C-alpha cells in the first residue's frame, strides 16, 4: 500500500532498478466487475468519477497513465482480508472497469504502484511482491493489447515512480534505507542505469514518490520529508526540479499539519499538478484528506479537491491525457473502515 506504508511505517524500502526480459508467468487475477458510468464532468474544478472495487476489505489505486481520452490505465492492489492482490482498471471514455491482472505464484502479497503507457498495446506497470519468506521483491507487468503478464525481473525492493522522455532518457524514483531514509533518483541513458546526486531538506527522511518529465532539462519530482522517523512525525511536501544539470528543492505551500505528495502530472512548463494527502493532526492513521497543488510557471498553490470518504482520503498518482489539459488522479477513500478506489478528473 503505497501511501499507507509511507505514513504508518515511514520507511524501509530498498529500490533496485533492473533490466527487463520478455518472459514471465501469471498467477491469480482480478475479477471483472459491473461497469460504472460517468456523466459529464464540470470543467475548471476537480470532480469525483465512479470507479469499481474488486476487494471486500481494501481497494487502492496507486498509479495512473493515459494514452488518450478513451484509453487510461490505473493500477494498485485489493484484498479480501488476506494478502494484497494486483488491481488494474481501465477507462474507455465512459466508465472504469477492472481488468484481469496476474500475481506471483506462492507470494504472500502483490501490489502495483506505478504505470507508464507507451502505446495502446505497450503498457508497463511496476510494484512489488512479498515472497514466501516475506522478502520484498520487484514486480513488473506488461500489457500487450490483449492481456497483462508478469515480466521476469531481478532484485529486492519495490519500484515507485517512473517517467520516460525518450527510449534513452528515463527517470525513476524511490527510497533507500541507510542510516536514515533518503530518496533515490536514477537515470537510464539507453544502456545503463546510474544514480544521480540528490539531497533533501529533511534531517531524517526524504522520499520521492512520483516524477513527471516535460523535457530533458525540465523534470519535476514530488514526495515528502521529515526531521523524525516516528509514526507521528510532521511531514512536509517535498517538490524538486531538474534543470538539466542538477536537482533543486522548490518551495511549496503547506495545507495541513502534515502533508504528503505522491503523484505528479505535467501538462506544460506552466501547468503542473501534484497530488497527495494532508492531515490536520499528527496521527499516522488519519483522518487525512485529498491534497492537490498546482504550478503556474512561477509558484505552487493549493487547489480544492473532493474528499468523499468519511474517514480518510488520498490521491496517490496523477496523469495528463496527451494533447489535452485534462488530468486524472487516483487513490482511495475510507468509510466505515472499508477502503475503496477513488478517481478524480480535471478538464
Residue of 15 and 331 predicted with greater confidence: 331
C-alpha radius of gyration, the chain, whole number: 18
Q: What angle do CA 231, 234, 239 make, to 5 degrees?
A: 115
> Rounded to an integer, what distance in angstroms lies between the CA atom of residue 47 and that of residue 97?
18
Confidence of residue 174 (pLDDT cuts 50, 70, 90): low
Domain definitions of the chain by residue range: 2-346
The proportion of the chain whose per-residue pLDDT surpasses 90, expressed as a percent, equals: 54
**Coil, helix or strand at residue 308:** coil
Instruction: Over range 84-99, report the average pLDDT.
Output: 98
Instruction: Over range 172-195, report the average pLDDT.
Output: 62
- 319: closest CA among 62, 128, 38? 62
Burial of 303 (0-12, 13-18, 19+ CB in 10 A): middle
| β-bridge mates for residue 175, sequence order | 183
Q: Are 150 and 102 in contact (CB under 8 A)?
A: yes
The proportion of the chain whose per-residue pLDDT surpasses 70, expressed as a percent, equals: 76
DSSP labels, 182-234: EEEEEEE-SS-EEE-----S-SSEEEEEEEEEEETTEEEEEEEEES--STTPP
pLDDT in tens, 132-170: 999 888 788 889 999 999 987 655 566 776 666 766 776
CATH superfamily of this structure's domain 2-346: Kelch-type beta propeller (2.120.10.80)
Instruction: Over range 95-124, report the average pLDDT.
Output: 92
Gap between the terminal Cα atoms of the chain: 28
> Rounded to an integer, what distance in angstroms lies between the CA atom of residue 283 and that of residue 281?
6
**Coil, helix or strand at residue 284:** coil
**Coil, helix or strand at residue 8:** helix
Amino acid at each position: 500500500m503505497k501511501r499507507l506504508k509511507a505514513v504508518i511505517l515511514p520507511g524501509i524500502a530498498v529500490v533496485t532498478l533492473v533490466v527487463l526480459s520478455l518472459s514471465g508467468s501469471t498467477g491469480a487475477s482480478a475479477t471483472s466487475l459491473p461497469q460504472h458510468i460517468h456523466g459529464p464532468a464540470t470543467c475548471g474544478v476537480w470532480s469525483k468519477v465512479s470507479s469499481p472495487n474488486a476487494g471486500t476489505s481494501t481497494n487502492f489505486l496507486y498509479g495512473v497513465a493515459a494514452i488518450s481520452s478513451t484509453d487510461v490505465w490505473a493500477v494498485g492492489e485489493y484484498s479480501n482480508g488476506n494478502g494484497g492482490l494486483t488491481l488494474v482498471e481501465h477507462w474507455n471514455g465512459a466508465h472504469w472497469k477492472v481488468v484481469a491482472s496476474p500475481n506471483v505464484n506462492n507470494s504472500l502479497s502483490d501490489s502495483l504502484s506505478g504505470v507508464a503507457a507507451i502505446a495502446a498495446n505497450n503498457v508497463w506497470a511496476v510494484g512489488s511482491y512479498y515472497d514466501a519468506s516475506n522478502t520484498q521483491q520487484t514486480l513488473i507487468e506488461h500489457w500487450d493489447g490483449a492481456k497483462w503478464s508478469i515480466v521476469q525481473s531481478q532484485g529486492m525492493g519495490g519500484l515507485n515512480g517512473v517517467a520516460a522522455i525518450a527510449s534513452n532518457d528515463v527517470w525513476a524514483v524511490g527510497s533507500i534505507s541507510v542510516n536514515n531514509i533518503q530518496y533515490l533518483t536514477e537515470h537510464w541513458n539507453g544502456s545503463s542505469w546510474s544514480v544521480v546526486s540528490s539531497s533533501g531538506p529533511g534531517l531524517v527522511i526524504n522520499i520521492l514518490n512520483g516524477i513527471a518529465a516535460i523535457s530533458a532539462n525540465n523534470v519535476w519530482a514530488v514526495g515528502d520529508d521529515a526531521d523524525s522517523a516516528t509514526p507521528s512525525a510532521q511531514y512536509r511536501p517535498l517538490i524538486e526540479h531538474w534543470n538539466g544539470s542538477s536537482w533543486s528543492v522548490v518551495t511549496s505551500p503547506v495545507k495541513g499539519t502534515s502533508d504528503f505528495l505522491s503523484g505528479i502530472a505535467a501538462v506544460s512548463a506552466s501547468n503542473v499538478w501534484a497530488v497527495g494527502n494532508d492531515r490536520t493532526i499528527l496521527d499516522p492513521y488519519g483522518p487525512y484528506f485529498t491534497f492537490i497543488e498546482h504550478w503556474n510557471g512561477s509558484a505552487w498553490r493549493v487547489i480544492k479537491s473532493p474528499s468523499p470518504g468519511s474517514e480518510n482520503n488520498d490521491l496517490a498518482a496523477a496523469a495528463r491525457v496527451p494533447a489535452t489539459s485534462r488530468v486524472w488522479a487516483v487513490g482511495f477513500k475510507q468509510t466505515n473502515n472499508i477502503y475503496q478506489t477513488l478517481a478524480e478528473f480535471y478538464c
